[in-house]
Chain A
Amino acid sequence: MKGYTATLKSGEAIYYIDRKRWLWTLSVLYPVQPFLGMWLHARTGQPGWLLLPLLSGYVIAPILDWLVGEDENNPPEAVVPQLEKDRFYRVLTYLVVPLHYASLIGAAWWAATRELPLWAFFGLAMVAGIASGLAINTGHELGHKKSAFERNLAKIVLAVPFYGHFWIEHSRGHHRDVSTPEDPASSRMGESIYRFALREIPGAFLRAWHIEKERLERLGHSAWHRDNQILQSGILSLALQLGIVIAFGWSMIPFLVVHNVFAWWQLTSANYIEHYGLLRRKEANGRYERCQPQHSWNSNHIISNLVLFHLQRHSDHHAHPVRRYQSLRHFDDLPQLPSGYFGAYLLSYVPWLWYRVMDRRLLALPHVAGDLDRVNIQPGKRARIESRYRHLLATDET
């Protein structure tokens, strides 16, 4: 296995091996799971196998996270420049791009050409949607990079679930506004994921459109100019999905609708759990403080990190957005989710259970210490939250 040598500031020479190097291929293989289901269906004749990726995402991954546990290992800072330059890691993010196209086209072809009961047909659309939710994750990793090649790949892969605006929205919108009441992609204490989705999905699109419109106006163009990057990605999405309908028939329209919505829902789920209730302080000049490590929820669960390009080391990502996935670090005393993302998604789908687990964690964070003024709270919910958690709140009377 490849090792890196470096010299620490103290003069000590070190040799570092990244034990996760080859394990990152899991982030490439995980999105092609629909093919595993199709293969098992073909072998057994049982359409139930097509839903295997739903089982692996919602049951097997949370259990494996729980069994295998957490990984707090960080690469030494001295080897990070070499790790960032190592082409192996970035090639994995390139390889997965065509696989996302293959997953959608393959699943659509299977759904259109096999006699499937209705539940299996729409189940397969959801499975394809999960794979394309991972395409947004791939686009996220690529879109944060500075090279034109990687940014273009991000736009290409985001076209699979018709989410091309994400590239603009995420970097220039979400990262700028994260953990503030203004951010449609940061959830508030007391806001259920369902209510959040209705704010996040349209809010994120409108913010992206606004940012792109302003850029085009500076260039002297209208918002509908051919340089509009949201429209460019949208045309690619239209070509792909229209092509699928032309090739495989009208039944692909409901299939693609379910696929797209379920892919967006994956991102909504991630956005919901990543910054729940966290709030940046406003400074005297009216700006929000710079995003600090305590403004993101994290998880060191290794299985889910290995299939998500380290997305769960989210604090370091927000502090250093262009840092590559293989170099993202764990820090002690960060807000921690009770499980990896997949388990946390499940928890969030049952709002009362989510509040029960997370509200206490939120109020107990050292920088919050029971002070609701330091929480991003759902308007109108404050009185109810105050009475429910009276015993956990800081009081002025003491």
Chain B
Amino acid sequence: MARHRCPECGYEYDEVSGDDHEGYAPGTKFSDLPEDFVCPDCAVIYKEDFVTEQRSAT
């Protein structure tokens, strides 16, 4: 499970929590998001331009 951050506006997609407003259930992998996914906050960053941050083991 990783976090994916929009480099433009800082929106974060966390695979653990998903995004309930956008309809992505907790546990939905970033790679399973639609191909035309854009940042839900600024809409100018495509999926492949998100920055991946691995979660540190807790």
- Residue ranges of A at the interface with B (Cβ–Cβ < 8 Å): 144, 146, 171-172, 175-176, 215-219, 287, 290-291, 318-322
With A and B bound together, what is the CA distance between A171 and B41 in angstroms?
Answer: 8
Which residues of the partner chain A approach B11 to less than 8 Å between Cβ atoms? 146
Are A176 and B44 in contact (CB-based, < 8 A)? yes
7 closest residue pairs by CB, A with B = A218-B23, A219-B23, A175-B43, A321-B42, A322-B9, A171-B43, A176-B43
CB-based nearest A residue for B45: A290
Measured CA separation A17–B24 after assembly (Å)? 44
Partner of A175, one of B22, B23, B42: B42
Output the residue of B41, B43, B45, B46 with the most chain A CB within 10 A: B43
The reply to whether A218 and B9 form a contact with Cβ atoms under 8 Å apart is no
Residues of B within 8 A of A322 (CB): 8-9, 41-42
Q: Is B38 an interface residue (CB 8 A)?
A: yes
* Complex contacts, B45 vs chain A, CB 8 Å: 290
- CB-CB under 8 A from B43, the residues of chain A are 171-172, 175-176, 321
> B residues near A, CB below 8 A?
8-9, 11, 21-24, 38, 40-46, 49
| Across-interface contacts of B22 in A (CB, < 8 A) | 215, 218
A287 to B47, CA, bound (A): 11
Q: In the complex, are the beta carbons of B44 and A218 less than 8 A apart?
A: no
Chain B residues, Cβ within 8 Å of A217? 23
A290/B44 contact (C-beta < 8 A), A320-B8, A321-B9 known: yes
- B44 cross-chain contacts in A, Cβ below 8 A: 175-176, 290-291, 318-319, 321
- Taking CB as reference atom, which chain A residue is nearest B34? A214
Task: Give the distance in Å from the alpha carbon of A216 to the alpha carbon of B8 in the complex.
Answer: 26
Docked complex Cα distance between A83 and B8 (Å): 18
21 contacts between A and B (CB under 8 A): A144-B42, A146-B9, A171-B42, A171-B43, A172-B43, A175-B42, A176-B43, A176-B44, A215-B23, A218-B22, A219-B23, A287-B46, A290-B45, A290-B46, A291-B44, A319-B44, A321-B9, A321-B43, A321-B44, A322-B41, A322-B42
Distance, CA A149 to CA B24, complexed state (A): 22
Q: Which residue of B has the minimal Cβ distance to A285?
A: B48
The CA-CA distance from A176 to B45 in the complex, in Å, is 8
Contact between B8 and A172, CB atoms less than 8 A apart: no
Task: Chain B residues near A176: list those with CB within 8 A.
Answer: 38, 43-44
C-alpha gap A164/B8 in the complex (Å): 26
Chain A residues whose C-beta falls within 8 Å of the C-beta of B38 in the assembled complex: 172, 176
| Shortest Cβ distance from residue A168 to the other chain B in the assembled complex, whole angstroms | 10
Determine the chain A residues whose CB is within 8 A of the CB of B40 once the complex forms: 172
Residues in B with CB closer than 8 Å to A219 are 23
Which has the most chain B C-beta neighbours within 10 Å: A216, A219, A287, A322? Answer: A322
Bound complex: CA of A176 vs CA of B42, how far in Å? 9
> Within 8 Å CB of A146, what residues of B?
9, 11, 41
CA gap between A381 and B8 in the complex, in Å: 37
Q: How far is the CB of A397 from chain B (nearest CB, A)?
A: 38
A216 and B23 form a contact (CB under 8 A) = yes
Chain A residues, Cβ within 8 Å of B8: 320-322
Chain B nearest Cβ from A233, distance in angstroms? 16
Name which residue of chain B comes closest to A146, CB basis. B41
- Best-buried of B40, B42, B46, B49 by chain A (most CB within 10 Å): B42
Name B49's closest neighbour in chain A (CB-CB).
Answer: A290
What separation, in Å, do the CA atoms of A172 and B45 have in the docked complex? 11
Q: Write out the residue numbers on chain A whose beta carbons fall within 8 Å of the beta carbon of B21.
A: 215
Chain B residue contacts of A319, Cβ below 8 A: 44
Chain A residues whose CB sits within 8 angstroms of the CB of B24 once the complex forms = 218
How far, in Å, is B34 (CB) from chain A's closest CB?
8
Chain B residues with CB under 8 A of A320? 8-9, 42
Residues of B within 8 A of A215 (CB): 21-23
B29 → chain A closest CB, angstroms: 15
A269 to chain B, nearest CB (A): 23
Closest to A221 in B: B23
The chain A residue with its CB closest to the CB of B38 is: A176
Which residues from chain A contact B42 at a C-beta distance below 8 Å?
Answer: 144, 171, 175, 320-322
Which single residue of chain B is at the shortest CB-CB distance from A216?
B23
- Min CB distance A142 to B, Å, is 14
